[in-house]
């Protein structure tokens, strides 16, 4: 900011602006219900800025728009508005699987056409979609002579919050990708953050800043430039420009979900609605469900992915897991370390991985037939070790191989550091790409399309950020993209507030393969997980995924069969979801109605503090009787001691007129099935 010494100096500054370039009338539009307003202004230098208000109070103060390029003049000054269009849209669509079976997409579209007054005369449109619970906007550039090829150095989009507040955010551009804990700081103390960033502004308004439909563009992090101003900071490419485009192009949607409280943020459908409808086609072959896995013992270091005396993926082990799944109504069994390629140093070095070559002690024909006989499917695993082109070269035959062996889901993985993904072009040139870069955004679409040809759904670990693309590519059923349960196996475990943080941040990206349900509450070398037993059950409702893992081993579950009943019962597909209460990082209570059935399930998780939660059961169908099957923390349960195993399992008749009151222990949670009495 230029310091202005006196009123006289200010007057001189104003009169210095040529008459032709003076501020034009702002253009403005509101959400369908009128609560959210968006305004676009042009200042005396011809700079465009947008602002957002809600219920008459500013949320985003005037914030700049524009671009830097690597090979031509930037776009930010000398712009004029050449036209505007406003139109309404209201349609309800069905999700093939999800947290809600039908979703209303109701917005007012506000297009502002802009043109440079310079010789380059470049033109573009900023399109806003204004919802009752937030705003998405994107830049749209038509093909034009002065932009035949576009090499973007940086996007100048800013987000100046009208008030300070508290922000929950994780750092961007660090080696461990998305797997960092959330920081809780003043918004005015944020540095460089990956999105989503969730904020509670000083007046209590909650806002989540993120992006939707990230395809053929690089992911947007944000850097605080001053005060409460955040600016887009695009993920680098492997060369000079961060994004390269030919002809017409658009950015992803820059999104602001705005609500009175944390539950309101979660209940928004803006992310999905800003993505294109299903481009793949029929999804009826995909059945949401749980999976067991030859996995936790590897994560704990007791078994190995590589061949040798500790190899996990042996015929005997896999058969035992299939038997366990079949006995407990779990339809899928993941097996990791089943293929050739794990024996060397595979981390960041997946060149030996072959997803059509099982190891000698894993008889895939025998095991898939054995599974089929028992009504179970194997879940494939493609750990690329970051060798992405090597993976693309075998993509089609790998999914064909999985389909041939009866698989419906493949878990994929990209274990390498953030900017170390290996790309090799047709001419042999090698590059190292960022996970959230433009090239990787296109890679994940290639995976979705290839998998779909073979009717395979995939669950990507170490993935690109989630931007609601599971609407467009509904076989991309889950992602990791945050510290999941595996961190509880190792030193530096997830803290008790972790899940209450991620529900209001990471979960806005879409389903997460968190891998819940470690009822043994133990990681490597007997180390204690910072959770009660009841909380492990609550995670099945709180952390949504249509492929939900029963992550512990059959041997461990055998010791906790009473609590395990909830894992057997809980579905992974829902007609409806409601957040009954919550505060970011403190607690959350979620209820969901099973898809196509009458029962409701509740999950509540807290943080390190004990607390009571109370809520009405008015979500239940009126006039019906239910039995509440309650799994709650024992009165003395506590994540810091062996009392973390303390759980009370009880039943109680309830109706929609009742209320319920539950105690959450330190590090605790609660799970309830509301079973309709027929």
Contacts (CB under 6 A) with ligand NOJ, residues 261-320: 295
Phi, psi of 524 (to 5 degrees): -60, 150
State the Cα–Cα distance between residues 664 and 672, nearest whole angstrom: 13
Active-site residue among 116, 486, 497, 594? Answer: 486
In the bound complex, what is the minimum distance in angstroms from residue 236's beta carbon to ligand NOJ? 24
Strands (DSSP E) found in 384-514: 409-413, 421-424, 430-433, 457-460, 476-479
Residue 137 or 342 having the CB closest to Ca ion? 342
Residue 178 or 594 having the CB closest to ligand NOJ? 178
What x-and-dash track marks residues 425-464 binding ligand NOJ by CB under 6 A? ------------------------------------x---
State the Cα–Cα distance between residues 628 and 600, nearest whole angstrom: 9
User: 414 Cβ partners below 8 Å, 6+ apart?
Assistant: 384, 385, 386, 388, 421, 435, 460, 461, 462, 463
Residue 250 or 553 having the CB closest to ligand NOJ? 553
In the bound complex, what is the minimum distance in angstroms from residue 293's beta carbon to ligand NOJ? 9
- Residue 336 interacts with, from ligand NOJ, Ca ion, none (CB under 5-8 Å by kind): ligand NOJ
Contacts (CB under 6 A) with ligand NOJ, residues 383-422: 383, 413, 415
Residue 172 or 489 having the CB closest to Ca ion? 489
What x-and-dash track marks residues 336-365 binding ligand NOJ by CB under 6 A? x-----------------------------
Q: Is 109 a catalytic residue?
A: no
How far from 12 is each of 8, 15, 23, 77, CA to CA, in Å? Answer: 6, 5, 16, 21
In the bound complex, what is the minimum distance in angstroms from residue 459's beta carbon to Ca ion? 12
What x-and-dash track marks residues 55-94 binding ligand NOJ by CB under 6 A? ----------------------------------------
**Residue 234, beta-bridge partner list:** 220
Residue 59 or 457 having the CB closest to ligand NOJ? 457
DSSP string, 47-59: -EEEEEEETTEEE
231, containing H or E segment:
strand 229-234
Q: Vertex 180, ends 177 and 181: CA angle to 5°?
A: 160
In the bound complex, what is the minimum distance in angstroms from residue 480's beta carbon to ligand NOJ? 5
- Residue 663 interacts with, from ligand NOJ, Ca ion, none (CB under 5-8 Å by kind): none
Residue 178 or 211 having the CB closest to Ca ion? 178
Are residues 669 and 603 in contact, defined by beta-carbon separation less than 8 angstroms? yes
Assigned token pair, 346: 């595979």
In the bound complex, what is the minimum distance in angstroms from residue 295's beta carbon to ligand NOJ? 6
In the bound complex, what is the minimum distance in angstroms from residue 462's beta carbon to ligand NOJ? 6
Residue 160 or 412 having the CB closest to Ca ion? 412
Assigned token pair, 529: 């997980």
Helix (H, G, I), strand (E, B) or coil at 517: coil
Q: Is 281 left (phi over 0), alpha (psi -120 to 50) or beta?
A: left
What x-and-dash track marks residues 451-470 binding Ca ion by CB under 5 A? ----------x---------
Count residues binding ligand NOJ (CB under 6 A).
8
Count residues binding Ca ion (CB under 5 A).
1
Residue 461 or 578 having the CB closest to Ca ion? 461
**Does 517 sit near ligand NOJ (CB under 6 A)?**
no
DSSP string, 325-345: HHHTT--EEEE-S-EET-SS-
Number of residues assigned to the chain: 678
State the Cα–Cα distance between residues 221 and 435, nearest whole angstrom: 13
Sign of torsion, CA 380 386 391 392?
positive
In the bound complex, what is the minimum distance in angstroms from residue 514's beta carbon to Ca ion? 11
CA 469 to chain CA centroid, nearest Å: 10
Helix (H, G, I), strand (E, B) or coil at 558: helix
**Does 480 sit near ligand NOJ (CB under 6 A)?**
yes
- Residue 413 interacts with, from ligand NOJ, Ca ion, none (CB under 5-8 Å by kind): ligand NOJ
In the bound complex, what is the minimum distance in angstroms from residue 382's beta carbon to Ca ion? 14
State the Cα–Cα distance between residues 206 and 14, nearest whole angstrom: 36
**Residue in the shown chain whose Cβ atom is closest to Ca ion:** 461
With 0-12 / 13-18 / 19 or more C-beta atoms within 10 angstroms meaning exposed / middle / buried, residue 3 is: exposed
Q: Which residues bind Ca ion (CB under 5 A)?
A: 461
What amino acid positions are annotated as catalytic residues?
486
Q: Which residues bind ligand NOJ (CB under 6 A)?
A: 295, 336, 383, 413, 415, 461, 480, 486
């Amino acid at each position: 900011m230029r310091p202005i010494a006196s009123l006289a100096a200010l007057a001189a500054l104003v009169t210095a602006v040529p008459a032709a370039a003076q501020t034009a009338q702002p253009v403005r539009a509101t959400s369908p219900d009128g609560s959210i307003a968006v305004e676009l202004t042009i200042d005396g230098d011809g700079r465009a800025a947008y602002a957002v208000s809600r219920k008459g109070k500013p949320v985003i103060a005037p914030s700049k728009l524009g671009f830097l390029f690597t090979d031509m003049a930037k776009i930010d000054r000398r712009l004029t508005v050449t036209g505007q269009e406003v139109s309404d849209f209201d349609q309800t669509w069905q999700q093939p699987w999800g947290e809600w079976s039908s979703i209303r997409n109701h917005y007012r579209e506000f297009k502002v056409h802009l043109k440079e007054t310079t010789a380059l005369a470049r033109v573009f449109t900023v399109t806003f979609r204004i919802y009752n619970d937030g705003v998405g906007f994107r830049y749209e550039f038509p093909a034009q002579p002065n932009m035949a090829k576009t090499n973007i150095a940086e996007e100048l989009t800013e987000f100046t919050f009208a008030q300070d507040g508290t922000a929950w955010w994780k750092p961007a551009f660090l080696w461990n990708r998305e797997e960092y804990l959330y920081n809780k700081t003043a918004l005015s103390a944020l540095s460089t953050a990956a999105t989503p960033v969730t904020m509670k502004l000083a007046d209590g308004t909650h806002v989540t800043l993120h992006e939707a439909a990230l395809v053929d563009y690089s992911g947007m992090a944000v850097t605080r430039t001053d005060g409460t101003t955040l600016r887009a900071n695009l993920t680098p490419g492997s060369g000079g420009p961060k994004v390269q485009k030919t002809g017409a192009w658009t950015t992803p949607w820059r999104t602001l979900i705005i609500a009175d409280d944390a539950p309101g943020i979660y209940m928004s459908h803006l992310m999905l609605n800003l993505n294109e409808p299903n481009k793949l086609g029929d999804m009826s072959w995909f059945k949401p469900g749980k999976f067991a896995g030859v996995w936790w013992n590897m994560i704990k270091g007791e078994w190995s992915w590589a061949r040798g005396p500790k190899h996990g993926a042996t015929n005997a082990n896999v058969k035992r897991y299939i038997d366990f799944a079949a006995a407990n109504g779990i339809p899928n069994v993941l097996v990791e370390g089943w293929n050739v390629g794990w024996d060397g140093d595979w981390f960041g070095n997946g060149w030996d991985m072959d997803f059509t070559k099982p190891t000698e002690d894993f008889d895939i024909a025998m095991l898939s037939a054995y599974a089929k006989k028992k009504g179970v499917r194997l879940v494939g695993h493609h750990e690329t070790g970051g060798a992405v082109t090597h993976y693309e070269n075998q993509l089609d035959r790998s999914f064909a191989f999985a389909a041939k062996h009866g698989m419906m889901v493949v878990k994929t993985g990209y274990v390498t550091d953030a900017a170390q993904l290996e790309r090799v072009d047709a001419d042999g040139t090698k590059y190292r790409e960022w996970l959230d870069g433009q090239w990787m955004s296109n890679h994940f679409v290639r995976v979705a399309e290839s998998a779909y040809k073979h009717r395979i759904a995939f669950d990507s670990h170490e993935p690109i950020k989630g931007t609601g693309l599971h609407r467009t590519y509904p076989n991309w059923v889950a992602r990791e993209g945050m510290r999941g349960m595996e961190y509880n196996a190792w030193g530096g475990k997830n803290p008790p507030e972790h899940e209450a943080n991620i529900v209001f941040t990471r979960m806005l990206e879409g389903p997460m393969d968190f891998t819940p349900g470690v009822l043994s509450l133990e990681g490597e070398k007997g180390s204690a997980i910072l959770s009660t037993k009841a909380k492990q059950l609550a995670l099945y409702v709180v952390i949504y995924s249509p492929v939900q893992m029963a992550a512990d081993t059959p041997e461990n579950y055998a010791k906790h069969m009473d609590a395990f009943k909830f894992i057997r019962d809980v579905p992974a597909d829902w007609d409806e979801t409601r957040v009954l209460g919550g505060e970011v990082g403190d607690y959350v209570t979620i209820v969901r109605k099973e898809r196509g059935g009458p029962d409701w399930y509740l999950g509540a998780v807290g943080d390190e503090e004990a607390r009571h939660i109370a809520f009405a059961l008015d979500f239940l169908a009126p006039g019906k009787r239910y039995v509440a099957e309650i799994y709650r923390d024992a009165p003395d349960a506590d994540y810091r001691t062996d009392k973390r195993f303390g759980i009370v399992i009880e039943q109680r008749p309830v109706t929609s007129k009742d209320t319920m009151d539950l105690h959450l222990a330190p590090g605790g949670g609660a799970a309830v099935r509301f079973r309709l009495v027929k």
